[in-house]
Structure formats: C-alpha cells, structure tokens
C-alpha cells in the first residue's frame, strides 16, 4: 500500500496500537500528524524523531477548538485515523453518570469531533479521503459487555456513528469505516490479565494492517464496515 506524500492524522498514535499504525504508515511513505496530550507519552514514542512524523501537543481531543486547530494545521489531508479512547470496567450499580459521560466523551465525542473536522478539511479542499474509527467487540456483541456497560454503550455509539457518516459522505469520495478489536496483545493487557492465553489475542501489528487497508487508496469501495479484528480470541 502506497501512502507516499499523503498526510494522515492518527489520534492515539503514541499508544500501543497507534505506534504500530504510525510505524506502518511511515514505512508506506505517509506523513503522520500525531496529536498527544501527555508529554511523557510523546517522549517515549519511538518514532518521535522520524522526519515524516509530526507530534502535535494538545490539551483535549474532546474540545472543539483544539480539534479545529489540529485539522486546520494539516494541508491536503488524506486520512484521519481515530485510535484515542478510554476503557472502564464496573458493575452498572457502581457506574455513575460522570463515569458514563467520561466514556462517551473519550470514545464517541473525540471520534465525532475528529471525523467532523476531517470531513470539513477534505471537502473544503475538494479532496477524496478516508476515515477509520475504532469500535470494539462489545459494540458488535453487546452480550459480551457485562461489567463494562458504559464502555459497551459508548463503543456501540461509535459503530452507529461510523455507519451513518459513511452513508452521508460517500458521494464526496470519503470512505468511512471502523475496526472492532477484541482484547489485543499489549503489555498493559498482559499485566491486567496475567493468566490469559496471549497466543489467541490479535497483535497490534495485525490490527494495524487492517486499519492501513481501510485508510489506503487501495480501498476503493468499502464503506460503513465495522470490521471484526478478533484474532482467535
């Protein structure tokens, strides 16, 4: 897949999945714009000195003004990949309204604002483009969401938003899709579930490969898909 000289925004790009996505993109020739909030994450980011990686300090990806500044700074945006989000587990009886709203803001609101900004950036310049969001397995299989109902609801909203937006902007040449990972093989997830069979979990590089296809010029027809990336989990 050739991304030569194509500008791509990757939110959550300094995380485990994000690092794999940004690494694959720059290898394919892309220019990656990676917003970050936590300075320590940017300092640990292995690709921070790469000539085609541009780290962008931000205060909050759920803030309209911050998001507008980010997208206004990127000329000829080709793709916007939205990996930033949050996860929380708790029984519903112990989940407050604040907990619910935090999941909605971290998962749905950030996706909505960045997708909206990407659509505006692409249509203002009359460019085709690609948007890739991240749902989750419970978004497709809500019965797998006991103990994490706020997270499940917020990711289901991301899936519904993705499908609706895909239909709205298809005639503009913008293809919108999402991936829905199961638990991925990361250091943090291994630490959280130390006795699991990690061999069945999808690797971040494998999930990144699916994201890259959906964001690439080679994807000429797929839109409104919520692609399961479960591995053997």
* Residue at 162 is within a domain: yes
- Specify the pLDDT at position 25: 98
Expressed as residue numbers, the domain containing 48 is: 7-229
Tokens of 45: 């980011």
Burial of 176 (0-12, 13-18, 19+ CB in 10 A): buried
Write the DSSP assignment of 45-65 as a string of letters: -TTTT-TTEEEEE-S-TT-HH
* Residue at 165 is within a domain: yes
- Specify the pLDDT at position 1: 87
- Specify the pLDDT at position 127: 83
Cα 34 to its chain centre, rounded Å, is 12
Measured CA to CA, the distance from residue 63 to residue 70 in angstroms comes to 11
* Residue at 70 is within a domain: yes
Distant-in-sequence, close-in-space partners of 198: CB < 8 Å, separation ≥ 6: 185, 190
CATH of the domain at 201: 3.40.50.720
* Residue at 2 is within a domain: no
Q: How many domains does the chain divide into?
A: 1
* Residue at 16 is within a domain: yes
- Specify the pLDDT at position 124: 84
- Tell me the pLDDT of the chain (233 aa) as tens digits: 899 999 999 999 999 999 999 999 999 999 999 999 999 999 999 999 999 999 999 999 999 999 999 999 999 999 999 999 999 999 999 999 999 999 999 999 999 999 999 999 999 888 899 999 999 999 999 999 999 999 999 999 999 999 999 999 999 999 999 999 999 999 999 999 999 999 999 999 999 999 999 999 999 999 999 999 999 98
* Residue at 1 is within a domain: no
User: Please, which residues bridge with residue 174 across strands?
Assistant: 129
SS (H, E, C) 101-163: HHHHHHHHHHHHHHHHHHHHHHHHCCCCEEEEEECCHHHHCHHHCCCEHHHHHHHHHHHHHHH
Measured CA to CA, the distance from residue 74 to residue 134 in angstroms comes to 22
Contact (CB, 8 A) for 66 and 37? no
């Amino acid at each position: 897949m050739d991304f030569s000289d194509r500008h791509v925004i990757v939110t959550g790009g300094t995380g485990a999945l994000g690092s794999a996505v940004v690494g694959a993109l720059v290898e394919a020739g892309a220019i990656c714009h990676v917003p970050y909030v936590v300075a320590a994450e940017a300092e640990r980011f292995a690709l921070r000195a790469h000539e085609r990686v541009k780290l962008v300090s931000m205060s909050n990806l759920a803030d309209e003004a911050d998001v507008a500044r980010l997208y206004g700074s990127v000329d000829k945006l080709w793709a916007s990949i939205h990996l930033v989000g949050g996860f929380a587990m708790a029984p519903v009886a112990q989940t407050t309204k604040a907990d619910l709203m935090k999941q909605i803001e971290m998962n749905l609101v950030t996706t909505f604002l960045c997708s909206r900004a990407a659509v505006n950036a692409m249509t203002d310049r009359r460019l085709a483009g690609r948007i890739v969001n991240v749902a989750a397995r419970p978004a497709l299989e809500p019965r797998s969401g006991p103990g994490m109902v706020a997270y499940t609801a917020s990711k289901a909203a991301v899936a519904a938003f993705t499908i609706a937006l895909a239909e709205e902007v298809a005639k503009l040449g913008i293809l919108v899709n999402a991936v829905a990972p199961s638990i991925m093989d990361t250091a943090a997830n291994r630490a959280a579930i130390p006795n699991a069979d990690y061999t069945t979990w999808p690797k971040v590089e494998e999930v990144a490969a699916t994201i890259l296809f959906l964001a690439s010029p080679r994807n000429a027809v797929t839109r409104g898909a919520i692609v399961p990336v479960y591995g053997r989990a």
